[in-house]
Amino acid sequence: MRFTNGYWLDREGYTVQRGREVHDLQVDAEAGRLRAFAPTRPVHSRGDTLNNPQLTITYEAVAEGVIRVRVENHRGTRTPQPRFEIAATTDYRGTLETAADGRTTLRAGDLALTIGEGEEWLAEFTSAGRALTSSMPRSIAHVIGPDGQRYMHEQLSLQPGESVYGLGERFGAFVKNGQSVDIWNEDGGTTSEQAYKNVP
């Protein structure tokens, strides 16, 4: 489901509450866990904490080359549904390092996640020093629909030429012969998914 209309616009009728900054980091080296708190508005003083929703993002190394990501808003007592069995080695522990610049890195083998406290929201994933993807500003959000239904939203960065298979609402055969493609023009903007001229 799409909650955005391009990069800068939100889908009509939806309230999108984006994590704006890493206000606080909790590092649990014993469990190999890193928890980030991301308010939806920057916090400069105590008054900024009033009426300011907050996202809780938990990163945990669960196996070699695997980091589990959990995003929550108002973690409650109800058991979230649906629930899926997750195959993870319970005895695996990742390693945590905090650099001099305050950025903390969680490692699960070659896979690493780096995030910094007190900065604009940015979570970077690398493998053996090579950039894989990142959760950039405006990427992570809690969304409230017009009917009150609630969703979590995440946009990860992709490089030109990268392909994503099997995801999306309109997924079809990768070979596009004979497929019907809808195109239209909208007023695009800088860093936008919209284009002034669509090319099928």
pLDDT digits (tens, 9 = 90+) for 91-108: 888 899 999 888 999 999
- Structural contact between residues 189 and 196, judged by C-beta atoms closer than 8 angstroms: no
Cα 10 from chain centre: 16
Give the pLDDT of residue 197: 60
Residues facing residue 18 across a β-bridge: 141
Query: What letter would DSSP give residue 193?
Result: S
135 exposure class (CB count in 10 Å sphere: 0-12, 13-18, 19+): buried
Instruction: Give the residue-averaged pLDDT of 36-40.
Output: 92
pLDDT digits (tens, 9 = 90+) for 41-91: 888 888 888 888 899 999 999 888 999 999 988 776 677 677 777 666 678
pLDDT digits (tens, 9 = 90+) for 130-188: 999 999 988 899 999 999 999 998 888 888 777 666 544 444 555 555 555 666 666 66
Give the pLDDT of residue 158: 83
For the chain, list the domains and their CATH numbers: 4-153 (2.60.40.1760)
CA-nearest of 60, 84, 55, 86 to 71 is 55
Count of residues in the chain: 200
Give the pLDDT of residue 168: 47
**pTM score of the predicted model:** 0.77
